[in-house]
Amino acid sequence: MMKRTILTLCCLLASLLATQAQNTDEAAIRRRLNEATARINALSCDFVQTKHLSVLKDKMVSKGRMCYKKSDRLRWEYTSPYTYVFILNGNEVLLRNKNRSDVIDVDQNRMFREIVQIMLSSVVGNCLDDKNFKSSLKSTAAEYVATLTPQRKNMKQMFRLITLHFNRDNACVTRVELTEKNDDRTVIELNNIRLNEKLDDNLFLVR
């Protein structure tokens, strides 16, 4: 009876210590990632987007380029197999496809504001302390992985889960996974990442 009590207490203590260690680890990772994202003033890269369709058991691959300039300039451009440009400049967004071109005021459109926020946060990786998400972090040999669960209704309606993969060496986002409620998944892989290079302001013109 005594032995069993001691054994139970030891197990409880071990799990408590493990939880504390995990929390400490997560806090350290969070701090490191936040410091790294704070140092990003500009970012440009190529991306490959793969949309996995659960209904058709098929996938669609798109490619493009992305440029970001702190804190509210983003150019997201698809080059194949379709051409599509999304440019954020302050509170204006330009959407351009082969049929039309539209400029939207983000301040007047809540849904767009949320979409823009998600895009910026995913690209830069600075949503770990965002109260609009419940986040957890873990590390593997090659990377840090942040799992974000949307808390706001609008975002929850679009995505069930968002996963960000960070390179361990430079703490840059290298992969974004967006899981929808219908189990479709979009994976965006960022390649040829160039940090803090000078970017032409013309890249972000909306008019």
Partner 1 sequence: MKSSTTIFSWCVSLMLSSALSLKAQSLLPSPSGEASRYEAYIELPRGYLSGVCIMRCAGDTLRGSIFNEFGVSAMDFVYDRRKDRVRLLSVMKMMDRWYIRRTLRSDLRLLLRSMNAGEGEYRNERRHILYRFTPMADSLDTPHPHDTEE
Residues lying near partner 1 in the complex (CB under 8 A) are found at 48-51, 53, 55-56, 58-63, 78, 80-82, 84, 86, 97-100, 111, 157-158, 178, 180-182, 184, 186, 189
First to last CA, the chain: 79
Closest CA to 126 of 84, 173, 87: 173
**Closer to partner 1 by Cβ: residue 41 or 62:** 62
CB of 192 to partner 1, least distance (A): 14
CB of 147 to partner 1, least distance (A): 17
**Closer to partner 1 by Cβ: residue 72 or 184:** 184
Closest CA to 37 of 130, 107, 131: 130
Q: Are 177 and 159 in contact (CB under 8 A)?
A: no
**Closer to partner 1 by Cβ: residue 68 or 78:** 78
| Cα 177 from chain centroid (whole Å) | 8
Structure tokens at 86: 């999304």
CA separation for the pair 69, 92 (Å, rounded): 15
**Closer to partner 1 by Cβ: residue 22 or 109:** 109
CB of 51 to partner 1, least distance (A): 4
Q: Are 182 and 157 in contact (CB under 8 A)?
A: no
Q: Are 74 and 85 in contact (CB under 8 A)?
A: no
CB of 123 to partner 1, least distance (A): 12
**Closer to partner 1 by Cβ: residue 41 or 50:** 50
CB of 189 to partner 1, least distance (A): 6
